[in-house]
Structure formats: C-alpha cells, structure tokens
Amino acid sequence: MKVLKGIYAITDEKLTPPSTVIAQVEQALDAGAKVIQLRDKSSTDEELEEIARALQKLCDNKQATFFINDRVQLAKKIRADGVHVGFTDQSVKDTRAEVGDKMLIGVSCYGDLDRAKQAVKDGADYVAFGAFFPSKTKPKADVVDLEVISRAKAELEVPVCVIGGINRKNIHEVSKHNPDLYALVSDIFESEDIKATTSELNKLITKSN
C-alpha cells in the first residue's frame, strides 16, 4: 500500500547528480523515507527516463511512493506513482484529466489555503505548503506562517505536506502542527551520512507525534 506520510525526500540536480542519485535515494529509503520525488529542472525527459524508471522500481521494492516533479508526460510514460505540480505548471484539473484516476497528484500551495481547497476539488491527493524557513534550494521563496499547517489539517481531508528550509534543528517547530509529510532536500542530500540523517529525522517526527 502506497502511503503519503512521513519523510519525503526530494532530489536535486546538484546534490543528487545522475551518477549517484539512485544510491543516495536508496540510503534515504533504507533509513525510513516513505516518499521520494525526482526533481530536476534542467534535464530533458529523455535524459531522466532511465533514472525515473530505476527510482520507481526502487520505491516499489521498498514500499515507498514515487513522484516526479512537473513532468506529466514522463510520469505517464513510466507509470510513476504520482506527479507533483507547482504554481507555474499546468492546473490540477488538466493534470487529472491527463493522467487519469489512478496516478497521485501533489500540488504546491505556498501559503494559500484557498488554492489548496480548490486543488483538492480538482483532484489533488496531497497539498504542500511552504517555505516555512529560508530555503537553500529556493532562496527566493516567501516564508509562510506555521499556522497555515493547523488550518489546513482542520479544513482539508487530504494529506498536508510541509516544505522549505526544514532540517533536524527546526523540524520540531513544524511537527507541533501535525503535518502528514515532511519534504526535505538539503538536510538529507547534503549530509555526509544520508542514512543517519534520515533516521534521525524519522525519530524526531515520531517523537513529536
């Protein structure tokens, strides 16, 4: 059963280059990451297809859920578990029409609860809010009030994901609001020991629940 809960590790072109991304993701999965997203803004679909297929297979073997960021056609082609769309990507409604009922859809909502509510109506399976702290991977992202997590949890019936600058030092601040998914890039993939870092993050969110 594919789950939308726990540590959500997101790849990055610089931190997880093609030569090492599979091994890096496997370390995160072995330490308890439950959801993986392939996020690459510069490569072509053709360049990413082999990696995407390998990551989907890896996630299947580890009982984890695999998303591809933005690339709806690639997600369809490799039959990914899901696709994540942002504000500048195609709409949730159009994405749902394109991928059908079985593929999961996640959507970036930043700090906008109304956008999240509309996304759920249009077929989103989870909604993501953030950044909650200054982010290395998205330095221009606006910082969102943590209260939006509690409001989203109270008003929405889909899993709520938090993202943006989250790390081992501050994850307790977001965990107080009981999100379902904790999305991280730098703290996991900049680490010299991905497995130890992911394991520590898992313990921190388990401890707070």
**16 vs 188: CA distance, rounded Å:** 10
Where do we find the tokens 């938090």?
Answer: 162
**Would 33 be classed as within a structural domain?**
yes
Identify whether 166 is part of a domain.
Answer: yes
The answer to whether residue 25 is domain-embedded is yes
Total tally of structural domains belonging to the chain: 1
Residue 179 located in a structural domain: yes
- Res 141 pLDDT > 70: yes
In a domain, 96, yes or no: yes
CATH number at residue 101: 3.20.20.70
**What does the block give as tokens for 202?**
């898992």
Strand bridging mode 181-184 / 160-163: parallel
Does 123 fall in a domain?
yes
pLDDT at res. 89:
76
Would you say residue 1 lies in a domain?
A: no
Q: Give residue-wise pLDDT tens across range 92-128.
A: 999 999 999 999 999 999 999 999 999 999 999 999 9
Average model confidence (pLDDT) across the chain: 95
pLDDT (average), residues 58-83: 97
Q: How high is the pLDDT of residue 179?
A: 98
Question: Cα–Cα distance between 176 and 171 in angstroms, integer?
Answer: 9
pLDDT tens sequence across 165-208? 999 999 999 999 999 999 999 999 999 999 999 999 999 998 76
Domain range enclosing 95: 6-208
Alpha-carbon gap, residue 100 to 76, rounded angstroms: 9
Q: Is 187 within a domain?
A: yes
